[in-house]
Structure 1
Amino acid sequence: MSESLPGRKAQAARNDGLILDAARAVFLADPGAPISAVAERAGVGISALYRRYPSKEVLLRTLCYEGLRKYCTLGSAALEVPDGWAGLVRFLESVVDADVHSLTVRLAGAFAPDESILPDVRRAGEIAASLVRRAHESGRLRADVGASDLSLVLEACSAVALPDPVRTVELRRRTLALLIAGMESGGPELPGPPPAPGEFAGRWEYRGKR
């Protein structure tokens, strides 16, 4: 898209893409890393980075909000799949492959959320509920699995992280396949209730500058 923009705007768009890609890599490895590490990895000057993101908190917030919007985009696409069970499986696989959840979890508490994210938070909840409802209607998803259980599945997959990125992807997909098999109807009763609304909310309490 930057090719269609004139001069400085095209360069700014390219820099922004480089900065966000670098920030994902840097902060996934270490959320406490300095913003200068992002500039170095992106190959841009620190002044260019600060022109776009005036503080580390703004950059972290942008990354996390982009992750949530990606989650919503993937969920909306999965809702277009006619079969409810297949749609749920596609959603989980696409979120794990896009590595959306691990970034969100890593950044929780590293910045102060603002109200601009609330529509996307509500949308994400609605999408998860719709995916689970459709999967239940298909008869394939066990009755005691709720929408909040999707967070447990995605967190389990994001916890798999090795130095080898290829092997990490393989093992995350294997983990997801095992979990999906356990979500199908016919298995023994699950222990305890699913996560309650807001049960994970404490992680988003801002812990101050890092």
Structure 2
Amino acid sequence: MKTTTTGPMSGRKAQAARNDQVILDAARTVFVADPGAPISAVAERAGVGISALYRRYASKDDLLRKLCSDGLKIYIAEAEAALSDEGDPWEAFTVFMRRVVDADVHSLTINLAGTFTPDEDLYRESTHASELAERVFGRAVQAGVLRPGLDVADMSMIFEQLAAVHLGDEERTAQIRHRYLALMLDALHLTSAPSLPGPPPSAEEITRRWSGG
């Protein structure tokens, strides 16, 4: 009778996946709080030996790239969901904004920028995310649901400002972020509002942080 090792292998793979997720969760907590923290702090929080961590991620840069890539993938998925929503344009736009804030995407992307060296895969993901953001923003503009004078870069700055809110307690942090997102969305929806002071951030101002500038 032929035997199979599929079951035990699946079990080991499942355990490895769980261990990897524990490390990633620990890394997210540690590096969002302090991007300059040593990788040993991640191992300590995850409850694994430093050698076990290095078997999965050869360096701190590898771990930070993984976190950033995960954040970009979430952003891409939410942008694609917004673009596939054929309902009310303003509702699709606000749902996109809320979901990105809830996922804390910018704590894993912009807030970590300049602390590690991106690779080509990450640049491709970032470019794709930017293209989708342009489309989400452009559709809202075409529908006439945004105040005049806005630029897609304004979305990025709003996300960044909200991601900077950390009150220690996750539930309270989420409440405060939603409070100020609601105020910001009201301001974005003032289609008869006067022009905003000054120009929006330039592409160079948004991207320079990736080189540590």
In structure 2, the residue matched to 1:191 is 197
Residue number among 128, 147, 151 corresponding to 2:152 in the alignment = 147
Aligned counterparts of 2:165 and 2:33: Cα–Cα separation in 1 = 13
Question: In the alignment, residue 201 of structure 1 is paired with which amino acid?
Answer: T
Is 2:65 the counterpart of 1:65? no
* TM-score, structure 2 normalization: 0.90
Aligned counterparts of 1:105 and 1:16: Cα–Cα separation in 2 = 23
Q: Cα deviations across residues 136-164 of structure 1 (Å, max 9, x unaligned)?
A: 12221123112111111111211221122
**Identity percentage of aligned residues:** 53
CA separation of 1:206 and 1:94: change in aligned 2, threshold 3 A: same
Aligned counterparts of 2:164 and 2:109: Cα–Cα separation in 1 = 12
Aligned counterparts of 2:147 and 2:133: Cα–Cα separation in 1 = 15
In structure 2, the residue matched to 1:33 is 37
CA apart distance, 1:87: 1.5
**Bigger Cα displacement from structure 2, 184-193 vs 170-179:** 184-193
CA apart distance, 1:18: 0.6
**Bigger Cα displacement from structure 2, 129-138 vs 18-27:** 129-138
Aligned counterparts of 1:105 and 1:22: Cα–Cα separation in 2 = 19
Is 2:179 the counterpart of 1:205? no
Question: In the alignment, residue 195 of structure 1 is paired with which amino acid?
Answer: P
CA apart distance, 1:103: 2.6
SS of the aligned residue for 2:185 comes to helix
Residues 148 and 193, structure 2, Cα contact 8 Å, conserved in 1: no
Aligned counterparts of 2:56 and 2:110: Cα–Cα separation in 1 = 24
Aligned counterparts of 2:33 and 2:203: Cα–Cα separation in 1 = 29
Residue number among 50, 66, 86 corresponding to 1:46 in the alignment = 50
In structure 2, the residue matched to 1:131 is 136
RMSD over aligned CA atoms reads 1.8
Where in structure 2 are there 5+ consecutive unaligned residues? 1-6
Where in structure 1 are there 5+ consecutive unaligned residues? none
Residues 89 and 143, structure 2, Cα contact 8 Å, conserved in 1: yes
Q: Cα deviations across residues 49-69 of structure 1 (Å, max 9, x unaligned)?
A: 110001111101111111111
CA apart distance, 1:79: 1.2
Q: Cα deviations across residues 158-180 of structure 1 (Å, max 9, x unaligned)?
A: 12211222111101001111111
Question: In the alignment, residue 133 of structure 1 is paired with which amino acid?
Answer: G
Aligned counterparts of 1:162 and 1:19: Cα–Cα separation in 2 = 23
CA separation of 1:121 and 1:103: change in aligned 2, threshold 3 A: closer
Residues 104 and 163, structure 2, Cα contact 8 Å, conserved in 1: yes
Is 2:155 the counterpart of 1:159? no
* Count of residue correspondences: 205
Residues 108 and 204, structure 1, Cα contact 8 Å, conserved in 2: yes
Aligned counterparts of 1:131 and 1:59: Cα–Cα separation in 2 = 30
Residue number among 101, 104, 111 corresponding to 2:106 in the alignment = 101
Aligned counterparts of 1:37 and 1:20: Cα–Cα separation in 2 = 12
Question: In the alignment, residue 140 of structure 1 is paired with which amino acid?
Answer: V
Is 2:20 the counterpart of 1:19? no
In structure 2, the residue matched to 1:85 is 90
Is 2:189 the counterpart of 1:181? no
Question: In the alignment, residue 90 of structure 1 is paired with which amino acid?
Answer: V
